[in-house]
Amino acid sequence: MDAEMTVVQEQAAEAPEMPEVLVSVRDLKKHFPVTKGALRRKVGAVRAVDGVSFDIMRGQTLGLVGESGSGKSTIGRTLLRLEEPTEGTVVFDGGDMAELSARGLRKVRPRMQMVFQDPHACLNPRMTVSSIIGEPLVEHLSMTSRERNERVEELLGLVGLNPEHANRYPHEFSGGQRQRIGIARAISLNPDLIVCDEPIAALDVSIQAQVVNLMEELQDLLGLTYLFISHDLGMIRHIADRVAVMYLGRIMELADVDSLYDNPLHPYTRALQSSAPVPDPAVEATREKIVLEGDIPSPSSPPPGCVFSTRCPEAVDRCRSEVPVWREVSPGHGVACHLVPAI
Ligand code: SF4
C-alpha cells in the first residue's frame, strides 16, 4: 500500500502543473445602442463584442489580435468593468464581476489595471511623474508621504527610469519613457491582471521591442497576467502564450501561440499572418500574400452567416446563411469556420 501511494505521489510530482484560470469570460456581449431623434429612440445597436468566450491563465499572456474595429479594446474595457456588459459573464479569480457591490468592485479594481496606447494622452501634463505614479497609492493605500516616495522610486527603478527624475513632468520624457511611466503606475498596486491596449502602437519601431522586453521582465518578476491587445500578429507572437484572433466582435480562432502560427486554420488568421512582415528580406520577397478585398463591415449591420463571409477568399454558399459553430479541433485549439474539418 505504501509502495502504491509512493508511485501515485511520484506521478503527481512529475505531472506538468496545470495553469490556473485567472479570468474566465463566457458569451460576453457588448452592444452600444444607436439612437435617433430628440427622444433618442433606439433604432439599432453596434455589436462591438458579440458572444466571446475565453480564459486567461494566471501568469500567462493572452494575445487579442485583429483589425481596428474588431472589438478588442471593448473586451478589455468590459473586463475591467469600465463598460457594463450587455450579456455574458466575466469571472475574475473565482468571483463573478457582475455580482460585485460598489465596495467589492473598489476592492477588486487595484488588482486589474490597464496600460493604454497613447501614454501622452493619459498622463496628466500638469502632474509630476511622482504624483502620477503615486496617485493610485494615495487612493487605495494608507501610506505616509515618505513611504509613498520610496515606493515611487522603487517603481521608477523597476521600469528602467532614473528615480531622481520623479519630480519631472511627462513632457520632459520621450514616448518610450512615458510608456514606462504608464507601466509603473499600472504595477504600483501589485495587480494580478494588466490589460495592455496596443501599448506599443504609438511608439517608434526601435523602441517597441524595448517596451515589450520590459513587460516580459516584469511579468516574470511580479507574476503578472496580461491581456495583450494588438493589431500586429508579429509582435503578439513574441509576447503571448495563447492568441485569440478577432473579427467583427467575434473570436475566429484561439490557440496556443505555436499551434496558431504553425498551423493557422481559419482563413482570416491565414490572411493576417500572410500580411505580417517577415524580417528576412528573401522570404518576404517570395512569400504569397493573401489580400483581403474591401473593409471590415459595420458592427451595426454584420453580415448574416459567417461575419467574415463578405471578405473570405474561401467562402461557399453555406457561409452566407449559416453561422459557423465554435469547435475545438485539437486540445486548446478552437476555430469557427465551416470548412475546417471536425476531428
Ligand atoms: Fe470563410 Fe466560410 Fe470559413 Fe467563414 S465559414 S471563414 S466565410 S470559409
Residue at 324 is within a domain:
yes
Q: Is the CB of 315 under 6 A from ligand 1?
A: yes
- C-alpha to C-alpha distance for 29 and 34, rounded to whole angstroms: 16
For the four alpha carbons of 90, 94, 98 and 100, in that order, the dihedral sign comes to negative
* Full strand arrangement of the beta sheet holding 193-197: 112-115, 193-197, 225-230, 61-65, 242-247, 250-256, 333-335, 327-330
- C-alpha to C-alpha distance for 95 and 154, rounded to whole angstroms: 31
The larger pLDDT score, comparing residue 295 to residue 230, is at 230
Q: Is 34's pLDDT higher than 60?
A: yes
For the four alpha carbons of 65, 69, 70 and 75, in that order, the dihedral sign comes to positive
Residue at 8 is within a domain:
no
CATH code (residue 327): 3.40.50.300
How remote is the CA of residue 311 from the centroid of ligand 1, in Å?
9
Residue at 3 is within a domain:
no
Q: Is 140's pLDDT higher than 80?
A: yes
Task: Please tell me the pTM assigned to this model.
Answer: 0.90
> Which of 208, 64, 65, 197 is closest to 122 using CA atoms?
197
Q: Is 194's pLDDT higher than 50?
A: yes
Residues 6+ apart with CB under 8 A from 296: 67, 68, 69, 70, 247, 248, 311
Which of 311, 320, 326, 338 is the best mutation target for the ligand 1 pocket, counting ligand atoms within 8 Å of the beta carbon and taking the most? Answer: 338
What integer is the mean pLDDT of 48-55? 96
- C-alpha to C-alpha distance for 42 and 57, rounded to whole angstroms: 38
> Domain range for residue 270?
21-31+45-335
Q: Is the CB of 116 under 6 A from ligand 1?
A: no
Residue at 11 is within a domain:
no
Q: Is 343's pLDDT higher than 90?
A: no
Q: Quick one: CA torsion of 319, 329, 332, 270, rounded to 10 degrees?
A: -50
Ligand 1 atom at minimum distance from 338 CA: 5
- The residue contributing the CA closest to ligand 1 atom 6 is 337
Which of 270, 293, 314 is the best mutation target for the ligand 1 pocket, counting ligand atoms within 8 Å of the beta carbon and taking the most? Answer: 314
Output the CA angle 90-50-94, nearest 5 degrees: 10
Query: pLDDT digits over 83-114, tens only?
Result: 999 999 999 999 999 998 888 888 999 999 99
Based on the structure, what is the number of domains in the chain?
1
Residue with cell 511580479: 222
Residue at 302 is within a domain:
yes
How remote is the CA of residue 267 from the centroid of ligand 1, in Å?
7
What integer is the mean pLDDT of 201-223? 93
Q: Are 285 and 299 contacting, i.e. CB atoms less than 8 angstroms apart?
A: no
Residue at 7 is within a domain:
no
- The residue contributing the CA closest to ligand 1 atom 5 is 337
Q: Are strands 41-57 and 95-96 parallel, antiparallel or unpaired?
A: unpaired
Q: Is the CB of 215 under 6 A from ligand 1?
A: no
Q: Is the CB of 22 under 6 A from ligand 1?
A: no
Residue at 9 is within a domain:
no
Ligand 1 atom at minimum distance from 306 CA: 4
Mean pLDDT for all residues in the chain: 90
Query: pLDDT digits over 302-324, tens only?
Result: 999 999 999 999 999 999 999 99
Query: For residue 141, what pLDDT is reported?
Result: 87
Q: How far is CA 277 from CA 60, 207, 228, 257, in A?
A: 25, 18, 20, 17
Q: Which residues of 109-127 are buried (b: 16+ CB within 10 A; e: fewer)?
A: bbebbbbbbbbbebbeeee
Cell of 48: 462591438
Query: pLDDT digits over 224-280, tens only?
Result: 999 999 998 888 998 999 999 999 999 999 999 999 999 999 999 999 998 877 777
Residue at 1 is within a domain:
no
Query: For residue 6, what pLDDT is reported?
Result: 59
- C-alpha to C-alpha distance for 143 and 135, rounded to whole angstroms: 11
